[in-house]
Copies of this chain bind each other. A is one copy, B any other.
Amino acid sequence: MLQSLTQNQRAYIAGFLDGDGSIYVRAKPNPTYRFGFQIAPYIVFFQSQSSQERFGEICKLISVGHLRIRSDGILEYIINRIDEIKMLLECVRPFAILKRRQIDLMLKIIESKSQVENEDDFEKLLQLVNSYRELNYSKKRKQRSLTP
């Protein structure tokens, strides 16, 4: 379990996340959701299949999430459950360097998402999601808003 990781293990995962991991969040249009969007955060690690055995050890250490092999042979380890993302980020946060700002903002998004009660709250959440994208320097992704 994540909570029982030693300080060294947390520091290792922080380094691996900084080097190989992606932390991102999507606002997916979905009419079945109350405000028309599903807010979906992810943490993903990629490795080539040649490292499967050792990579499996790291996945086991992380303990949450699931491994899949893509059709092109790339291994993808995905954590997409919000409670697990929160636990993992809180666990490694004190040791992270490169992705510290992403971690902080993602934890804020998760907190904000859990407190949405009305459209105003949701609009604020969308703004946080948009600012997260800016942090990740992705020019391609769409800026979402409830009030276009």
Contacts and interface: CB of A to CB of B under 8 A. Distances in A.
Contacts of A13: 15
Give how many copies assemble into the complex.
2
Contacts of A100: 54
Contact of A95 (B12, B47, B54, B99): B12
B98 A58 contact: yes
Chain A interface, DSSP helix/strand/loop, else mixed: helix
A8 interface: yes
Contact of A97 (B7, B54, B95, B137): B54
B19 A51 contact: no
A58 B97 CA distance: 7
Contacts of A95: 8, 12
Interface of A: 7-9, 11-21, 45, 47-48, 50-51, 54-55, 57-58, 61, 95, 97-100, 137
